[in-house]
Amino acid sequence: MRAARRRLRRAVERARRFAAVGLPGDSLVAVPASGQVLYRLVWCVPARERDFMSQMEKGRPPHKDSPAIYWTGVSMFRERSQAVSRARGKGSAVARVTLRPEEGFHLAKTLNEGHYTVWGLPDRLLANCAIV
């Protein structure tokens, strides 16, 4: 119950900030990376380029209930434990990804607490990751 109230309060605050600059409340704003460290669930050790490909790049259809822009990026998390909680079986590991500004990465706070969508070239994301 408390978490639901926090999410609602954040959504209302975000809608107010967006409205103040003329954007709809459900807008998604991506910003250039500035050295953030996020975590991504990968399927192999060592990680492969495919582990950093978006659903679009993998040729998968977009989810019918999600904005198409999510389909073009990859999910990452603020905390390692959040990525671990998404693991669904053997063979998965967690990569720490440093989003260096010179690589041209962008990110946006999306979905649940600690979830981000990241946009960048898969080979560059791979080059900036380490299994943890």
According to the model, what pLDDT value does residue 129 have?
98
**pLDDT tens by residue, 77-101:** 999 999 998 887 766 899 999 999 9
According to the model, what pLDDT value does residue 54 have?
96
According to the model, what pLDDT value does residue 86 have?
83
According to the model, what pLDDT value does residue 102 have?
97
pLDDT < 50: residue spans in the chain = none
Residue 77 half-sphere exposure toward CB, CA atoms < 13 A: 17
Cα torsion through 29, 55, 68, 110, rounded to 10: -30
According to the model, what pLDDT value does residue 28 have?
82
**Where is 12: in which H helix or E strand?**
helix 2-20
Q: pTM of the entire structure?
A: 0.83
Q: How far apart are CA 126 and CA 51, in angstroms?
A: 8
DSSP codes, 44-67: SSS--GGGG--TTTTTPPPPTTS-
According to the model, what pLDDT value does residue 90 have?
61
Q: Which of 50, 28, 10 is nearest to 106 (CA)?
A: 28
Q: Which residues pair with 116 in a beta bridge?
A: 76, 109
Domain range summary for the chain, segments of one domain joined by +: 24-131
